[in-house]
Structures are given as structure tokens and as C-alpha cells.
Chain A
Amino acid sequence: MNSKLTKRRKLLSAAWIAGVSFIILLILSFWLGSRSREIYTPGEKVDGLTAELARDLPPDYPKISFTDATASAGIRFRHFRGERTSQLPEDMGSGAAWGDYDNDGWQDLFIANFAGPISLTEEEIRNSEAACQLYHNNRDGTFKEVSKIAGVDIRDFINGAAWADFDSDGWPDLSVSCYGHNRLYRNKGDGTFTDVSKTSGIGNVPGFWSGLAWGDYNLDGHPDLYICGYVVYTRPEKGKSSRQYNAEVPASLNPSSFRPAENKLYRNNGNGTFRDVTEDLGVANEEGRSLSAVWCDFDADGWPDLYVANDVSDNVFYRNTGKGTFSEISHSAFVADYRGAMGLAVGDWNNDGDMDMFITHWIAQENALYDNMLTQITRMNIKGSHEIKFMDYADRFGLGQIALDYIGFGTFFFDYNNDGRLDIFVANGSTFELKDQTKSLVAMDDQLFWNRNDEEGFYNISPVAGNYFRKKYTGRGTAWADYDNDGDPDIFIVNHDGPGILLRNDGGNQNNWIEIKLLSAGKNRFGLGAKIKVVTAGLTQIRQVGTEGSYLSQNSLVQHFGLGESQTADTVEILWPDQHRQEFYQVPANRIMEIAWEPS
């Protein structure tokens, strides 16, 4: 009986335990099941979200890296000194210009500097540590700072810089743009410079000056100067903030708050002086807040046209009629880009025989790749048609959507891997102040875009192009030059309130190359505006001297061509601005050619 009771109790207990356990398990499973939906998080890549324009780097990308050689090359440059005061002029600069000021065949470097906050007194400006610097190339991969000796250790609110032999004496002279009065320094040929700003007429008008573009618009052999004016800046009244409701960006940093400033075109009189012909030629671009400009013969009629990149206003394209006038055709040429344009690069990205443009923009705006349709229009053989049109293909070729996160400034086309196709470098840097530290601006990483082919376009190769691309700075001006004459282009970047950085191209010269330096015995000694065509097997590359653009900066005038695996350039053709043509055949690769021309 006892055993039966025990057995029943056991069964009962088992049934109870099983039942209760089952119910507990059931409740648990339902509870867990009901909690299985994950809470949405901002920025989460949820199911159903795609980005069809995003592109992964293909495996055949060039295995080339850029090395930060700033310190080893002896460059010690820091932009800006002191604390920003949240005023627009303090945030826009500065740039750098590569040029061979002593004609020794090695590229030297001038770096513009902005002395400090614009509240500085004249004395404080004079004593500012943020001086412009001139670095002489020691021909061994290092530089020596010669600013003081040369007389160009300028302490002022300097934005841009550009070399040009305005007096045709064979020595590159130096021009700089300022928040204040622009300056022109004549190269005396002995390693020193003379300030001719006033006598030349270049430095007579105060303003908020930015990009400088040298070009011989009237083909008289004397390089003329176009200077961009940004805005007519007025400082906020003392003690009154231009910021309300904790605004992230005060009015004093918003370019829209200020009237656009006029640009200036200075015609070179050929006697050391310039004449302001802006009004006569209608190229003031009164409505544009201009930051960059380039002279380039976009329509291949032999006359340099002028393109101006404007912030928060339409860009402007002035077509040189060849009759001493300009015609504004921005809209009909489809290049009245109305986004916030900063930097400007010019080059034939797809080697179709015409000059295209790449334009960097402000945040949440795609950069633009304006493909010149000249070749296509010419092929259509429309008689009497002088149409010039551009199409923005940035999205299609990998340069649009990827730019939305950045504020792009300096930029240029260059063939960093010598494959015969122009790649792109972009120096990015924000105009926004750091949230908790408004004295500094937000930093961004720079980008290198590899041009793979005409069909696919560009890939962001920065993640595998060296450690530098993992760092963030507030990039502004940038320019390239083959400073070590090793056959591949190197980069210099000016970072706002930060260091200047020299990036040495390591490995770009695994492919073959050729560099061409033009020397004219007459006027326009360095061939500004001359066209160079290099033909190798199946590939025709073109350049126009001095038309590359960037932002407040100037690239080397020595033209660099990648030849890929070709050991020779089948043809090298030079078309000088006076239409004189020179042709060379079967030119061996991997050399710097100096091509001279002596006009009759």
C-alpha cells in the first residue's frame, strides 16, 4: 500500500513538475519571442536600404602609397596663429604654389599663411609667427626655408599664391592674394624678390581676395592676372554677436550674409604695370562669391577662356571671343553650377581630346565632373557650330555621392600612377566649428580618386594609399609637383590652423613617364597656355600649361604624362600660344624634356 502510495505520489509529483515546467518554459519562450525585434538605432543600415552608387575598390587597384615626407624634407609650416574669432576671412585660407624660382630645374615651394585672427593690430600682424614661407629645393628630397633671405616672409592675411613671369625676364615672379591688399613680388633672379604691388597696380584695391589665375587672355605674350573676390566682409559690431539661439554657424561665418565681391582682371601692360580691365571686359562677376578661377582654352579656338568657381552662387564661364571681349555663356554651356563651389581642377579625364572640369563643393552637395562635349559636338560636324557644352557626370563616374560627406577645397587632376589616365586628389576640410571647442574647425580626411577607365570612372583609393589618408585635417589649398624629379607627382597640402603636409609619391614611377618643361625665348617665357599632346599606343593625352587650377594654389608648370608600359612616346606635340607647332617622335620615356622655342 505504502509502495503504491509512494508510486502515485511520484507520478503526481512528476506530473506537477512537468506541467509547471512546461508552463514556465512556454511563458519564457513567448516572452523571449516577443522581445526578438531589435530596436531601431539612428544610422542603422536597415533591411531594404541600398546605395547603388557606392562602389568597392576592384582588386587591380594600383599598389602605390603616399608617404608623409614633411619632416624629412625639412618643411616646418603651420598655418594660422592664435584663436579664431569666428569671422569668415579667418577660415578660408590658405594655399601653396610650386614653382622653380631659381630655374635650377627643381620645383620650389611657396606656402601662403594667414597671420591670425583678423582682430590683430598691424603690429601684431607684423610680429605674427604665421608667416608665408618659401622653400628652396635642395635637389636631394629636402628643402631649405629661404623666405627671409628672399624677402617673401610675408606676414599678413594671405590666402592664395601663384607664380608667373609677368615681366618676361625668365624668372618666375610671385603673386599672393590677401584679405586686404594683394601683392606682387618681382623675382630679381638672385634669389630675392622686390615688392612691386603698388607700382604694378596689383595691390591697390583692398578686398577679400582669394583665387589667382595667370593667363595670357589677349595672346600678347604678357601674362595677365585674374583675381577672385569673395565677399564684401563687414565685421560684426563690437560686443554684438552674429549668433542667436545657439546657432551652429553665426552670420559672420555665413558667406550668404555678405554681398559678393567683384573680381579683377589685370591686363599686363608689358612694362611692369597692369591695367584694371575688369569693367571694360565685363568679367567682374558681381554676383559671384568667387574662390577659384582658371584660364583654359575649353573651346579649342586658341583663345584662353575663363571659368570662375563661386561659393553659394552660379559659377561663371567667360568665353574669350578672340576679339578682345568675353561672352558670358555659363548657362548655355551648362556649367552655371550653383552649388557652393570651392576648388577647381581642369584636365582631360577621359582622354577624349578636350578639357574637362572637376569642381569641389560644400557639404551635402555632390562634387561635379563636367565633361566637355567639344569632341562629341565636333564629331557631329555641325557646320558653323561653335557650341561648347559640358555635362556633369560625377554621379555616374563615382565622384558625386561620395562627396556628400565632405567639404572639398583644393583639388587637381594628376596621373599619380602613370597609367596615362588623370586621377584626382581632393583636400577636404570643414567650415563648421567644433561643437565644444568653437576656436577650431572640424577636420576631415582627404581623398584620392583613381581613374580606372572611361566606362567606370573613379574609385576612392584613399584607404589603401597611405597612412596620411587616415588622418584628419582642415584641408584648404593643395598643389602637386614632382619635387624629387623621380617621375611621379607629389602633393603638398595646406591645412587650416594646422600643418602643411608634403606627401611623397612612392611607387608611382613603376610605370613609364615623361615630363615636359616649356621655355620660350620671347615673351611668356614658360609657355602659359601652350598645349601639349602626347601620343602613345592607343592613348592621346593633352595638357594646357598653367590651366590646372586648384584652390588658392598653383600646381607645377612642368607637365607630367604617364606612359603606362610604353617605353617611348610616339609623338610629343607642342602648340605654342602663337600657334607655332613643334613635334617630336619616338621620345624615350622616363625623362624631363625641356622644349625651347624662340619666336622670330
Chain B
Amino acid sequence: MSQNQKTYSKEHEWRHWLGYSTAGLILFETITGLSIYLLPFSILNQVQVVLHTGIGLVFIVPVMVYMVRHWLVYRSITMNHYKLTGYALMVTMVILAITGILLTFEAVFGTRISKLWDLVHTAATFCLVAFCIPHIVLIIIRDRKSGKTPVMQAVLIAQNSWVKRVITISVFLFFGAGLWSLLYIPDKWENEFPEDYSYLYGEDRPFAPSLAKTKTGGAFDPRSLGNSEGCGTAGCHEEIYKEWQVSAHRYAAMDVAFQTIQGVMGQQNGSESTRYCGGCHDPISLFSGSKNIYTSADDLTNIHGYQEGISCIACHSIKQTDVKGNANYVIEQPNRYMYELKEGEAAKFFSNFLIRSFPEYHVETFQHKLFKSPEFCAACHKQFIDEEVNNVGWVQLQNQYDKWRKSKWNHPGDPAKTVECRECHMPLMDGKGEPATGDDMDYNRSAQDGKFRSHRFLAANQFIPAALNLPGAEEHVRLTEEWLKGNIDIPEIRDKWTEGPVVPVELIVPEKVMPGEEVKFSVLLTNNKPGHDFPTGPIDIIQSWLEITVTDQDSNIVFRSGHLDQDYFIQPGSFVFKVEPVDQYGNLIDKHNLWEMVGVRFNRSMFPGFTDQAEFMFNCPADTRTAAKQKETSREFKFINPSTTVTNLNITARLKYRKVDQYLINYMFGKDSGITTRITELSSDHKTIRVAGIKSGPELARHK
């Protein structure tokens, strides 16, 4: 027996307050730790997270003191299995303490806890159990076998007392946890339709004619689907939030065109009919019952819906989608963490801490494999109108999903060839500090790739973000224009996507023509990069057209097509990709009032991988005097010989794009508003035709 053992008797050790109090805390920490790891998300479990962290931090010092003291007492005894498990326990405790501190630090000051530290901490907990039980239980068994000497009797009594005290401390702490859980009053959602809510399409279809459904079949409090800002503040998904803020998903409801057209639809067909639009454009208002009978056009979208459109939660809470499209999805109201909906800094601190330290539920709630599937996007990117809305029967509208599905970009089962929606429209971004980095379920990613998918949903609307003056609009419009031109590089799909412009144009012209000859030329256009038709979306209001300019060698205009007049309308007879829907009376549908559509009188777009051809014709002028009837621009101090022969014809073809045609702009803002949409040049080509048969004319005199 060593000197230390002489000093500190076994009985004394079992009775020492540090012994039973640290053991009680370890028991509490172990059970709460395992509960957090093994039990489902609940209030009690969240309380346990807080107490586990708090108590763990507070008692690190006494536990460490105890261990040192314990080691000093027993360090000199011969190595045996008790001592060995004791050392193992000490190492485990140190690991637990260090990882616990690290995790707490990350949860308080970071954006999420590290998976590695969390794993080590959890593993160490299992080790703790594995080493602690034999260490203590074996000693107690040994002591009970060691005879009934008065000394040992005292030790056994001390052990009994130790067990009782340990349990008492733990029970006391668990009682506290239980009490906190019981006393916590979660915020309740007001999931009620307005009292006068109109069930025009049947009691069981409160959101019809939209196909969107809630899991409960009832209303959802608008707040329950909103507060996207909460996702993007406090150092969490800040980058994603910033991107989303200016995205088409965000302004889906506040889009001035949507608001105008929804108002017209409501006035014309009754407010309930606008639920048709709500499933995709304005789900928050739809599910909260705002699109109700006798609702004025201005109130069809509530403030939450208006501000957030397709909010973070509205999209991430969709649990089921059907390939039928038309917002045929089921949405579930997510449970929230404690204090997430309460006001105040403390509440915010607590809820953020819980989300970051206990992220599994957050991830499970808002992240699903379904989100990767193009079918998820299809819920809103495949549209038709049915009898309930238009009284004329089933009419196919935009359908990006099936066009993609049957295009060269889709190779089921082969990720090396397939390019899906998210790969183009949600490219990977460097995500320093972003908690949503890494994804081990995505075929071209890993859990540690340090990247997140862009939530800018870059596409083709270079008008609305600026018109609404959304934060970051300038940058977004710049990126959108680059996107439209095909200048955005996406490294992760570089080897399976295609290069070049989105829609390249190529002039096919004769090498030479004779003066007075009828000149025929054509322009080839190819849907090169899009995974769907070009153009796509509401192509009754979108326009993409060829601007053709033919000049002679002196820049005199010989032929023009596709130029805008002073009122921003495209020159009649131009080559335009668009659709012109008509109603049952054959009238043009020019205000996106597609609920009246029965057919189209013009329809031109390109399927992915298709080439289209535009043909043009003009007469080759004999001299520049003929050509100079129109001048594209007048150059200063330029003198032209009035009868110079034409030697060259310069042809330029430019493919232009605008999101909203001028007629709808005038309808929305007034003819005299002077407002027009931004026009982007997607691609261009230039060719020169030699005019043969006549020698070149005299040099032109130019003075500056």
C-alpha cells in the first residue's frame, strides 16, 4: 500500500463530495448526450442540449480537479485493469471536455458545429460508457467479494451512499430539464382560414384550382412559411439569402407583372380563381387564405407573400411533388426550434444556438433528396390550364420539365452525361462560412467540398430585379446578361455541357451578288445551351428577335429588320421567337390573360439542340444613292459621293432578348411612362457580300 492510499482511505474516496458530484454530472451529461444523439427532435431534447452544454461547461473544472486528485491518489498502485480503464476514462474525459468546448464555441460563435468534432464527441461518449461501467462496477463487485471486514463494510456503505448521491444529483438535474420543458410555451400558429373563406371548388380542395396542397389540408399561418430573413442573418445562410433576395423565386409575388395580371384575373373571374397562380407565385398568401372571395386586387397577396414570394421555407418544406406539374405538391408546416419565433436577442441567441448545436433536425426538415430531382422543379415549371380555370378545357402552357426530360441533356442513370436543373441554375459557389456547404448525396459533390448551391437561380429575367430595385439588382442583372450570352462558366459541368453562346447565330450569305439582284440570305440559330426550349417561360410576353442590318461600304442602310421604333415596338415582319395566343374569339391575348387562351396564331421557339433558320431577302442597290435612303447613324463630317457604286454589303445579325414586350409594359405602366424593358444582345454575326460586276467606286473623303 502506498503512502497516498494510507492518507486517503477508500471509504473517504467514495464519500468525497467531488467524487459523487462529478459522477452525478457525468451521468447526467452521458444520458443527455445519448438522448440528443438517439432520440427524436422535441422540446425536452432541445432543453437537454442547452443543459448538456451549460452544465458541461460549468463543471469541466471540478471534473478535471477530481480526475487529477483521483490520479494522485491511485497513480502509484500497480497497473491493473481498474487502473487501465481509469486512464482510459481520463483520456476520454479530456477528449469530451475539449470537443465539448470546441462544439460550444462553434455553436455560439460559428454557423454550425463541425461534423468531425461532433463525431468525436459522440464517440467519446460511448467510450465513456464503455470504460466507466467496468471501472466502477468491477471495483464495487471486487469490494463486495472482499470479505466483511469492518473496513470493507464501511467502504461498502460509502459505495451505497455514493450511488444514491450520484442518482440524486442526476435526477435533480433531469427534474430541472423536465420542468423547463413543461414550462416552455411554444408559439402557436394561427392556422385558420378567414371566417368567410370561399370553398368554391369543394370543401376538400380549399386551394383549388391550384393543385398545391398542405399536409393537413388546412390553412397555414403566413408567418410559418415566411421569415426568410431569419435564415440569412446571424451568420447563417447569409450568402444564400443574399442571392435569393434578388432571385425570381423571391420576387415571384411582388413582380409587377404578376400583381397586375393577378388583379385582372381576380376582377374578371373572381378572386378565388387567382389561387391557380398562387401555388407557384404566391404560396404564402395562398395557404393562409388571402385569395378569398370579395378580396380586392391589392389584397390578394398578403404582406408576407408579397415580400417573400417563394420563401426559403415555402420551397424547402415541400415534401411531395407530382410530375403532373401545375403546383401539384404537398407542403408541410415545419416544426421550429425553441425560441425561434420569440422576440428578443436572448431568444434569437438560444434558437440560433440550438439550430447550430443540434442541426440534424434542421437538416432533416429542410434538406431532402427530392430537391435534387428535376421532378421537384417540375412542380412549378410545367404548366397547363384546365376547365376549372378557363372553361375551355385543357391547354398546355410552358413546360420546361418535359422538354428537358426528352432532350439530349437527360440520360437517366448516367450522371456523367446528364445535366439537371440545379446543375445549371444553381451552380456551386465557394462557401466560406456558409453552413450549407458540402453534400454527399449529390453525384458531383462531396460532404467536404466547401461549396453551396447558388440560390440566385440565374435565368433570363434582366428586367424585374432592377424595376423593383431589389438589393443587389445591379449585380444580378449583370450576371443575368452574362448568363444570357453564355459567358457564365460552370466548372463542375464543363466537361458535359457545351461551349459558346446560349443561342449562337450564323449568317449564311452568298459570296457575291450583282447590283439589282435579289439577295437572299439566312440566319441559323441553335438552341445550344438551354436544357429547355429557347425562349421559354411566358413566351407570350417574352420576345427574342433578330436584328438585321445591311449596309453598303459607306454605312448607308440597305436593309433593316428587327429594329425598334420610337415606341420600342419591334419592326413589323421581323423574325421573332414568341407565341401569340388567342382567345375563343380569335382575339390576341396580349396581357398574359392565359385563362382565355384556346390556341395560338403564331408560335416559334426551339427545342434543346435544335437549329432554326430565318430567311431574309432584299434587292442589292446599284449605287449608294439608292442605299442612302435610310441612314443608320449619321457620321459627322462625312461626305459621300452621291452616286458611288456599291461594292460591298455588310450584314450584321444580332439576336436580342427582352423579358416583357412593350404592349404589356404600356398596359402596366401607361403608354406615356417612357418605360421599356432592358434588351440584351445574346449573340451576333457579321458577313460581307461582295457586289460583283462593277469596279469599286471612288474613295470616300472623310474629314474629322
* Alpha-carbon distance between A242 and B525 when the two chains are bound, in angstroms: 9
Interface-facing stretch out of A335-343, A412-420, A473-481: A335-343
Q: Which of A235-285 contact B (CB under 8 A)?
A: 237, 240, 242-251, 254, 256-258
Query: What residues of B have a CB within 8 angstroms of the CB of A401 in the complex?
Result: 323-324
**Taking CB as reference atom, which chain B residue is nearest A44?**
B373
- Asked if residues B85 and A337 are in contact (CB atoms below 8 Å), the reply is no
- Residue in B closest to A53 when the chains form the complex, CB atoms: B324
In the complex, are the beta carbons of B600 and A334 less than 8 A apart?
A: no
Cα distance A392–B418 in the bound complex, in angstroms: 33
The binding surface of chain A is classed by DSSP as loop
The answer on a CB contact under 8 Å between B127 and A39 is no
A592 at the interface (CB under 8 A from B): no
Provide the B344-355 mask, 1 if CB < 8 A to any CB of A, else 0: 000000000000
- In the complex formed, the residue of B with least CB distance to A339 is B396
Knowing A244-B611, A332-B585 are in contact, say whether A12-B498 is a contact too (CB < 8 A).
no
Shortest distance between the CB of B642 and any CB in chain A (Å) = 36
Interface centre among A41, A43, A47 (most CB of B within 10 A): A43
B62 contacts partner chain A, Cβ-Cβ < 8 Å? no
A313 at the interface (CB under 8 A from B): yes
Measured CB to CB, the closest approach of chain B to A478, in angstroms, equals 22
Q: A326-373: which residues lie under 8 A (CB-CB) from chain B?
A: 330-332, 334, 336-339, 363-366, 368
Contact across chains for A42 and B418 when beta carbons are under 8 A apart = yes
Contact assessment for B441 and A48 in the assembled complex, using a CB-CB cutoff below 8 Å: no
Of A30, A50, A254, the residue contacting B321 (CB under 8 A) is A50
Distance of A330 Cα from B600 Cα, bound (Å): 10
Assess the A249–B127 pair: CB atoms within 8 A.
Answer: no
Structural contact, B123 and A30, CB atoms closer than 8 A: yes
User: Contact between B584 and A331 (Cβ–Cβ < 8 Å)?
Assistant: yes
Q: Within the assembled complex, what's the spacing in Å between the Cα atoms of A392 and B393?
A: 6
- Within 8 Å of chain B (Cβ to Cβ): is A8? yes
In A30-59, the 8 Å CB interface with B consists of 30, 34, 37-44, 46-53
A424 at the A/B interface (Cβ < 8 Å)?
no
Q: A27-B123, A331-B582 are in contact. Are A254 and B611 (CB under 8 A)?
A: yes
CA of A244 to CA of B505 in the docked complex: distance in angstroms? 9
Give CA–CA (A339, B579) in the complex, Å. 12
Q: Which residues of A are found within 8 Å of B328, using beta-carbon distances?
A: 52
Contact mask B368-383 → A, CB, 8 Å, 1/0? Answer: 1110110110000000
B604 neighbours in A (Cβ, 8 Å): 256
Q: Which of A8, A52, A251, A405 contacts B524 (CB 8 A)?
A: A251
Most chain B beta-carbon contacts within 10 A, residue among A237, A251, A391, A394: A251
Q: Assuming the A-B contacts A244-B506, A287-B601, A394-B394, are A39 and B441 also in contact, with contact meaning beta carbons closer than 8 angstroms in the complex?
A: yes
Kindly list chain B residues whose C-beta atoms are within 8 Å of the C-beta of A82. Answer: none
- Per the bound structure, the CA–CA distance linking A528 and B3 in Å amounts to 122
- Of the candidates A47, A53, A334, A339, the one whose C-beta lies within 8 Å of that of B368 is A47
**C-alpha spacing A223/B499, complex, angstroms:** 56
Inter-chain contacts of A392 with B (CB < 8 A) = 393-395
* A16 near B402: Cβ-Cβ < 8 Å: no
User: Is A324 engaged at the interface, CB distance under 8 Å to the other chain?
Assistant: no
- A249, B126: Cα distance in complex, Å: 62
Contacts of A314 in B (CB 8 A): 599-601, 603
In the complex, whether A404 has a CB less than 8 A from a CB of chain B is yes
Closest to B115 in A: A34
At the interface with chain B, which of A18-26, A105-113, A161-169, A173-181?
A18-26
Say yes or no for A393: interface residue by CB 8 A criterion: yes
Knowing A245-B504, A257-B613, A336-B598 touch, does A37 contact B440 (C-beta < 8 A)? yes
Q: A19 and B130 in contact (CB under 8 A), knowing A39-B440, A42-B411, A46-B373? A: yes
Check A338 against B599 for contact (C-beta < 8 Å): yes
- Number of residue pairs spanning A and B whose beta carbons lie under 8 angstroms apart: 222
A37: which B residues are within 8 A, CB to CB?
440-441
Q: Which residues of chain B are near A40, meaning CB under 8 Å? A: 369, 372-373, 441-443
Find out whether the CB atom of A48 lies under 8 angstroms from the CB atom of B370. yes
On chain A, the residues within 8 Å of B394 by CB distance are: 366, 368, 391-395, 400
Q: Considering only CB atoms, which chain B residue lies closest to A16 in the complex? A: B84
Q: Give Cα A502–Cα B530 distance, bound, in whole angstroms.
A: 41
Q: How far is the CB of B322 from chain A (nearest CB, A)?
A: 5
Q: Which residues of B contact A539 (CB under 8 A)?
A: none
Residue of B nearest to A251 (CB): B613
> Contact at A331–B586, with CB atoms within 8 Å?
yes
**Nearest CB in chain B: distance from A428 CB, A:** 13
In the complex, are the beta carbons of B324 and A51 less than 8 A apart? yes
Within 8 A of A (CB), among B606-622: 606-613, 615
Out of A49, A249, A364, A395, name the residue touching B609 (CB < 8 Å). Answer: A249
A287-B615 Cα distance, complex, nearest whole Å? 17
B243 at the interface (CB under 8 A from A): no
CA distance A142 to B499 in the complex (A): 56
Docked-complex contact B372 and A46, CB < 8 angstroms: yes
Interface membership of chain B positions 392-422, coded 1 if the CB is closer than 8 angstroms to chain A and 0 otherwise: 1111100100110110101111110010100
B611 contact from A42, A242, A312, Cβ within 8 A: A242
Residues of A within 8 A of B606 (CB): 254, 256
Which B residues between 598 and 650 are near A, CB-CB below 8 angstroms? 598-604, 606-613, 615
Residues on B with C-beta less than 8 A from A18 are 134
Stretch at the interface among B22-30, B38-46, B75-83, B449-457: B75-83
Interface residues of B in 154-190 (CB under 8 A from A): none
A11 is an interface residue with CB less than 8 A from chain B? yes
B99 within 8 A of A: no
Q: A257 to B612, Cβ gap below 8 A?
A: yes
Residues of A within 8 A of B241 (CB): none
Contact assessment for B127 and A12 in the assembled complex, using a CB-CB cutoff below 8 Å: no
Q: Is the CB of B611 within 8 A of A11?
A: no
On chain B, the residues within 8 Å of A41 by CB distance are 413, 415, 443
Is the CB–CB distance between A50 and B611 below 8 Å?
A: no
Instruction: Give B26 Cβ to nearest chain A Cβ, in Å.
Output: 18
Cβ-based interface call for B285 (8 A): no
CB-CB under 8 A from B508, the residues of chain A are 237, 240
* B192 at interface, CB cutoff 8 A: no
Are B526 and A366 interface neighbours, CB within 8 A? no
Taking CB atoms, residues of chain A closer than 8 Å to B563 are none
Is A434 on the interface with B (CB-CB < 8 A)?
no
Chain B residues contacting A38 (CB-CB under 8 Å) are: 441
Cross-chain contact of A334 among B323, B504, B598, B602 (Cβ < 8 A): B598
**Contact A404:B402 (CB < 8 A) given known A47-B368, A50-B323:** yes
- Decide: B600 and A52 in contact? CB cutoff 8 A: no
Complex formed: what's the CA distance from A392 to B602 in Å?
Answer: 21
Tell me if B652 counts as interface (CB < 8 A to partner A). Answer: no
Please give the distance in Å from A8's CB to the nearest CB on chain B.
Answer: 6
Q: Nearest chain-B residue to A246 (Cβ)?
A: B498
Please state if B611 and A30 are interface contacts (CB–CB under 8 Å): no
Instruction: Say yes or no for A390: interface residue by CB 8 A criterion.
Output: yes
* Given known A8-B80, A244-B526, A331-B583, contact A46–B369 (CB-CB < 8 A): yes
How many angstroms from the CA of A243 to the CA of B613 in the assembled complex? 10
- Chain A, residue nearest B130 (CB): A22
Q: Is the CB of A15 closer than 8 A to any CB of chain B?
A: yes
Does chain B have a CB within 8 A of A14?
yes
Task: Convert B522-541 into 0s and 1s, putting 1 for each residue whose CB lies closer than 8 angstroms to a CB of A.
Answer: 00101110000000000000
Q: Which residues does chain A contribute within 8 Å of B31, judged by CB atoms?
A: none
Contact residues in A for B611 (Cβ distance below 8 Å): 242-244, 247, 249-251, 254, 257
Can you give 10 contacting A-B residue pairs, CB < 8 Å? A15-B81, A34-B119, A38-B441, A44-B369, A48-B368, A49-B376, A242-B611, A244-B526, A254-B612, A392-B393
Shortest beta-carbon contacts, A-B, top 7: A336-B599, A43-B412, A248-B609, A391-B393, A251-B613, A257-B613, A364-B402
Interface residues of A (CB under 8 A from B): 8, 11-12, 14-16, 18-19, 22-23, 26-27, 30, 34, 37-44, 46-53, 234, 237, 240, 242-251, 254, 256-258, 287, 312-315, 330-332, 334, 336-339, 363-366, 368, 389-395, 400-401, 404-405, 435
Instruction: Apart from A19-B85, A389-B392, A404-B406, list 11 A-B contacts with CB within 8 A.
Output: A18-B134, A41-B413, A43-B410, A47-B370, A52-B328, A243-B526, A254-B612, A331-B583, A332-B585, A334-B584, A393-B394
